[in-house]
């Protein structure tokens, strides 16, 4: 069953065509990785699929519904959330509050029930706290819940951002280089966490440079080079694909 279907997606910035006619899909319960050399257009694809930037042309559908006319802030409500390559966290809030913001799309207390602290709003607030706490436990930073986010390390902030994106129970989570800046142990732990998400029924699309993580985690890999899709297949197939090796893996292995 296809969860996300991307067809003939293109995007140009001024005269530069960053993404050219890229098509792919993500099945329900699948982890798909998007790889490619720097400037291949991976992040641009991710930004288009998550509604951050509109495509120049092409179609994106989620659960059979076209996302063309869907505003960026409605993606979370539909079940599409994401994390960012350069962390986008709220560092003046506590870690718990950061994760609670992730529940915005599935809560509904209005300005008057919040301002007057009506029972409904208070109950919802308690529920949000509980739920956010569970996600902090799941990613392993619940002991930091009441600290200001600015005191966290880079790796911890990444986990917090992931908890924020996951706590609304999305069907589709997009991750932009989740392992960037993490050490080996942290990466291995994060890989396990992603497996848990998959077991919970969330499909993942991740852009990543860490080949260990990708080969361990991904069900399917899509390779982009200079804005176009050059290969698609299982980790095994991709590792053996001559075009991929020429475009990407060969160079990457040398430098890594």
Partner 1 sequence: MKALFSKKSLIVFGVYLLVAGLFPFFGSDYFLSVGIIMGLHAIVTIGLSLVMGYAGQISLGQAAFWGIGAYTTGILTTKWGMSPWFALLIAALIPAIAAFLMARAIAGLQGYYLAMATLAMGFIVQIVFGEWESVTGGMGGLVGIPALPLFDDLGVDFYYLVWGMVTLVLLFSLGIIHSRIGRAFRAIHKSEIAATSIGINVANYKLLAFVLSGLFAGISGGLYANYMGIIDPQPFGLHESIKFLTMVVVGGAASVWGALLGTILIGSIGEVMLILSEHFPMLKGDMDTIVYGAILVLCIIFMPEGLVPRLQKIMAKRQEEPLPAERKLGA
The yes or no reply on residue 42 touching partner 1 (CB under 8 A) is no
The yes or no reply on residue 186 touching partner 1 (CB under 8 A) is yes
The yes or no reply on residue 180 touching partner 1 (CB under 8 A) is no
From the list 1, 16, 111, 242, which residue makes contact with partner 1 (rule: CB under 8 A)?
111
The yes or no reply on residue 68 touching partner 1 (CB under 8 A) is no
Closer by beta carbon to partner 1, 45 or else 128: 128
The yes or no reply on residue 131 touching partner 1 (CB under 8 A) is no
Q: How far is the CB of 58 from partner 1 (least distance, A)?
A: 21
From the list 63, 104, 198, 209, which residue makes contact with partner 1 (rule: CB under 8 A)?
104
Distance CA 159, CA 142 (A): 11
Q: How far is the CB of 92 from partner 1 (least distance, A)?
A: 7
From the list 57, 65, 73, 237, which residue makes contact with partner 1 (rule: CB under 8 A)?
73
Closer by beta carbon to partner 1, 105 or else 226: 105
Closer by beta carbon to partner 1, 131 or else 238: 131
Closer by beta carbon to partner 1, 9 or else 49: 49
Extract the tokens encoding 7.
């067809």
Measured CA to CA in angstroms, residue 109 lies from 95, 99, 102, 225, 252 at distances of 21, 17, 15, 46, 49
Closer by beta carbon to partner 1, 72 or else 250: 72
The yes or no reply on residue 114 touching partner 1 (CB under 8 A) is yes
From the list 85, 107, 216, 239, which residue makes contact with partner 1 (rule: CB under 8 A)?
107
Distance CA 197, CA 211 (A): 20
Number of residues that bind partner 1 (CB under 8 A): 58
Closer by beta carbon to partner 1, 10 or else 98: 98
DSSP string of the chain, one letter each residue: -EEEEEEEEEEEETTEEEEEEEEEEEETT-EEEEE-STTSSHHHHHHHHTTSS--SEEEEEETTEE-TT--GGGHHHHTEEE--SS----TTSBHHHHHHHTTGGG----HHHHHTT-HHHHHHHHHHHHHHHHHHHHHT-GGGTTSBGGGS-HHHHHHHHHHHHHTT--SEEEEESTTTT--HHHHHHHHHHHHHHHHTT-EEEEE---HHHHHHH-SEEEEEETTEEEEEE-HHHHHH-HHHIIIIIHHHHHH-
Can you give the binding site for partner 1, defined by CB under 8 A? 50-52, 71-77, 81-82, 84, 88-93, 97, 100-105, 107, 109-111, 114-117, 121-122, 124-126, 128, 138-140, 143-144, 147, 151, 156, 159, 164-165, 168, 186, 189-190, 192-193, 196
């Amino acid at each position: 069953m296809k969860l996300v279907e991307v067809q003939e997606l293109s995007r140009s910035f001024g005269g530069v065509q960053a993404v050219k006619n890229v098509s792919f899909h993500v099945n329900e319960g699948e982890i798909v990785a998007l790889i490619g050399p720097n400037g291949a257009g991976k992040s641009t694809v991710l930004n288009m699929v998550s509604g951050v930037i509109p495509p120049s042309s092409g179609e994106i559908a989620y659960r059979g519904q076209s996302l063309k006319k869907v505003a960026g802030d409605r993606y979370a409500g539909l079940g599409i959330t994401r994390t960012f390559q350069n962390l986008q966290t709220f560092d003046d809030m506590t870690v718990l509050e950061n994760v609670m913001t992730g529940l915005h799309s599935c809560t509904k207390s209005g300005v008057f029930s919040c301002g007057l602290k009506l029972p409904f709003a208070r109950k919802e607030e308690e529920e949000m706290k509980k739920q956010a706490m569970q996600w902090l436990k799941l990613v392993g930073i619940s002991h930091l819940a009441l600290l200001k986010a600015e005191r966290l390390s880079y790796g911890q902030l990444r986990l917090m951002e992931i908890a924020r994106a996951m706590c609304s129970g999305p069907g589709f989570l997009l991750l932009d280089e989740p392992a960037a800046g993490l050490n080996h142990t942290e990466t291995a732990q994060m890989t396990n966490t992603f497996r848990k998400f998959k077991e919970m029924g969330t499909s993942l699309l991740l852009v990543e440079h860490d080949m260990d993580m990708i080969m361990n985690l991904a069900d399917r890999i899509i390779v982009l080079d200079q804005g176009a899709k050059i290969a698609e297949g299982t980790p095994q197939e991709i590792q053996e694909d001559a075009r991929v090796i020429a475009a990407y893996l060969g160079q990457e292995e040398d430098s890594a």
